Structure 1
Amino acid sequence: MSSATPWYIKGILYVALPAACIAALYLSIPGEVALARTAGWSKHYAPAMPVCLSVYALSAGAIATYRRKMDLPGQVTALVGSLMALLLAMSAQSISHLIEQNYMDSSAHLVVAVSCVPPLTIAHLVHMAETPAQVKTASQQMAELTGMIDYLSVELTGVLAAHTDDALTYSRSLTDGYDRLTAEAQELAQGAESEAERIATALSPKRGGGPKKAVPEEKIKEAARELKANGERVTGPRLAALLGVGESTAARYISQGLATV
């Protein structure tokens, strides 16, 4: 049975994988540039951010693979570097899109975190460039690895938590504002209806040789109780039908609280 690599597997390795990597890097450029601009870099310097993160990820991944094949020291830190570069790129995309869609705003924490990316990248690349002869004990490598992971985790967690709180606060303020506007609109509508009824009453001619007598309050309440007993809402048209008055008059009784039981 032949052990040669099938042609379609070779096509995936030599064509599909590079094309996917290039497409992913190309898609990451706008978000990382936008995040750099948010952190304060000008339009002349911001495009370097995608290059920084992409070169960092490729370098760390290549060094980790080479050292693993050659059984050289420093494999763990190189692998962690590639993973952290991927995490930074993912965070940059998420945060930049959240800011663009107005779900969160920039802050001092975000500016500091993004500003730390280039020096941290340089520091780790220089560390990975050390000669393999500079061997460190496993405990030393583990301590360095733990410190780097703790620092980056605290920074990223703090930034995301701060902006999550800002987004929730903004959402609550919008909800409260909408409720206030709704209540004010209802009050204005009731006031306008009462005023329109008053004007219509003042302008309309009197019928029956004199003004109509006002409906007793007890009769109004009795009509409201009857509507509620039948499972109906106390509305202007229904109350007017029971009392034999105009709908505007019935609406005024409701707005004045005379139909409250």
Structure 2
Amino acid sequence: MTVDLPGYAKGMRRVGPPLVLAVALLMSIPGEIHLAEVAGWGRFSFFGFGLNMATLMPVCVSVYAACSAVIADVAKRLNLPNRKSAITGAVAALILALCAQDISHLIQLNYMHTGWLLVGAVSAIPPIVAAHMLHMSAAPADTSSVHEVPEPEELEYDDEDDEMTEAGNGRRRGGRKGLSLDEVEEAIRSLKDAGDDVTPENLAVILKRAPRTARRYLDKVKAAEAKAKQPEEAPAAPMLPLTA
């Protein structure tokens, strides 16, 4: 089933998530920098330039949490071997980001004070984050960003078993109902309305068919459109009887 979203909803889907993510990361920066300063990080001379190492803590907390969440989602969708580690890291990163904000604000408002346990825990954040990111990025070849996923419902196509008909009563192997020309054209229109390219892969998602089957449907639609554009042949004139 396809849903034609109004313009403001489409815009919100495109702009909303990155905007919320950027604002959330910005709001997390002060608390994480403060927590790093409490743990003892300060200015460090780097090639003659004074660098406040505490300002790098947001990368080890909030940015790490965002990266882990994305990697965990991709690993789960593609069923990659490192999905358990990615999901565990994403949950741990979220807990770490929450604790960093809470502890920093509690210290600033004098509800709690720092101690050796807190300093030790905060100091351990960078090496733990580095170890987990290296573990996910240095995984075996079959967990790399290019991963082959078998296409769903990749069955052998048979025109007689899965035929697009005017009434949509064609059937494919296993008794699955075929699609009508109107249904396929409606799916193509929905892709165009959404601004997506009309490709077999995109059409397959809407039709819930394998890309190979969607490609056949797309070819049939193009053939029907080309046939409709051809001028109809004029009927042949009746033959007059021969007279002596």
The alignment's TM-score, normalised by the length of structure 2, stands at: 0.51
Query: In 2, Cα distance between the equivalents of 1:15 and 1:133?
Result: 34
- Paired residues for 1:6-85 under 5 Å: 6-43=6-43, 44-85=52-93
Structure 1 counterpart SS, 2:53: coil
Would you tell me which structure has more strand in proportion to its own residues?
A: 2
Q: Aligned in 2, Cα 1:94/1:2: closer, same or farther, shift over 3 Å? A: closer
Query: In 1, Cα distance between the equivalents of 2:62 and 2:2?
Result: 38
Query: In 2, Cα distance between the equivalents of 1:105 and 1:116?
Result: 19
- Paired residues for 1:1-261 under 5 Å: 3-43=3-43, 44-133=52-141
| Conserved 8 A contact 1:74-1:132 | no
Query: In 1, Cα distance between the equivalents of 2:85 and 2:26?
Result: 27
CA displacement 1:36-94 (0-9 Å, x = unmatched)? 00000005100000012123112212211222232211112111211211111111111
Query: In 2, Cα distance between the equivalents of 1:3 and 1:132?
Result: 40
Gaps of 5+ in 2: 44-51, 144-244
Q: Aligned in 2, Cα 1:132/1:63: closer, same or farther, shift over 3 Å? A: farther
Structure 1 counterpart SS, 2:54: coil
Query: In 2, Cα distance between the equivalents of 1:105 and 1:5?
Result: 51
What one-letter code is carried by the residue in structure 1 that aligns with 2:97? Answer: A
Report the RMSD for the aligned CA atoms in angstroms: 2.0
Q: Percent identity at matched positions?
A: 45
Would you tell me which structure has more helix in proportion to its own residues?
A: 1
Structure number with greater Rg is 1
Q: Aligned in 2, Cα 1:5/1:68: closer, same or farther, shift over 3 Å? A: farther
| Conserved 8 A contact 2:60-2:126 | yes
Structure 1 counterpart SS, 2:95: helix
What one-letter code is carried by the residue in structure 2 that aligns with 1:109? Answer: L
What one-letter code is carried by the residue in structure 2 that aligns with 1:59? Answer: C
Query: In 2, Cα distance between the equivalents of 1:99 and 1:58?
Result: 25
The alignment's TM-score, normalised by the length of structure 1, stands at: 0.48
| Conserved 8 A contact 2:42-2:54 | yes
Gaps of 5+ in 1: 136-261
Corresponding residue for 1:163?
none
Query: In 2, Cα distance between the equivalents of 1:85 and 1:49?
Result: 13
Structure 2 counterpart SS, 1:57: helix
Structure 2 counterpart SS, 1:46: helix
Q: How much does 1:131 deviate? A: 2.8
